[in-house]
Amino acid sequence: MVTLTGKLVYLRALEPEDIDLLYKLENEETLWEVSNTQTPFSKHILVEYIENSHRDIYEVKQLRLVICKAENDSILGFIDLFDFEPKHKRAGVGIVIFSEEDKNKGFASEALSLLNNYSFVHLNLHQLYANISEENKTSIRLFEKNSFVQVGLKKDWIFSKGNYKNEYLYQLLNKNVH
């Protein structure tokens, strides 16, 4: 069974030529709110990150994969596992699609489905979770479409631009892992 290839997209490891996209993404201030970043990243730091991205998820506790369009290999975005906890068999999930024109076309949904399958089949995880701000209706629809269930609300969780925002906690349990 091929777990990282779908009809619309496939997921692949980071490559050195991804540096410019990674640099642009990590320094996009509008995304800092969801990534808990407050300062820009240098290209030097990101080159080191890519050079070390081959390290095992059990060692570094995270995995970033590139979402590529199946028909022409163009890069659509990134999807991450973070806070990987092998003892508790869980990890957080984050996803970003770069271009507005590539959103709402099923790419993110298929990428998330592929990552879910990979996580449950190859990493033997029991659950995945996502933290989604209350006003991010697109992400809420994406995760709910992929069987994630809202299990909690963290009130005033994110402080951004002088205001507090609520954040939902979503989970997807793998019923086949004990």
Which neighbouring-strand residues pair with 67? 11, 77
N-to-C CA span, the chain: 22
- Chain-centre distance for alpha carbon 166: 20
Domains of the chain plus CATH, in order, are 9-173 (3.40.630.30)
Tell me what pLDDT residue 16 has: 86
Residue type, position 144, single letter = E
CB 150 within 8 A of CB 132: no
Q: What is the pLDDT averaged over residues 124-147?
A: 96
Kindly give, in sequence order, each residue whose CB lies less than 8 Å from that of residue 23, ignoring residues fewer than 6 positions away. 41, 43, 46
DSSP 8-state symbol, 120 = H
Tell me what pLDDT residue 35 has: 59
Convert the pLDDT of each residue in 51-104 to its tens digit.
777 677 878 889 999 999 999 999 999 999 999 999 999 999 999 999 999 999
| DSSP 3-state of 163 | strand
Place of tokens 């990493």: 123
Convert the pLDDT of each residue in 23-47 to its tens digit.
777 767 665 555 566 677 777 776 7
pTM of the predicted structure, to 2 decimals: 0.88
Convert the pLDDT of each residue in 140-178 to its tens digit.
999 999 999 999 999 999 888 899 999 999 999 998 755
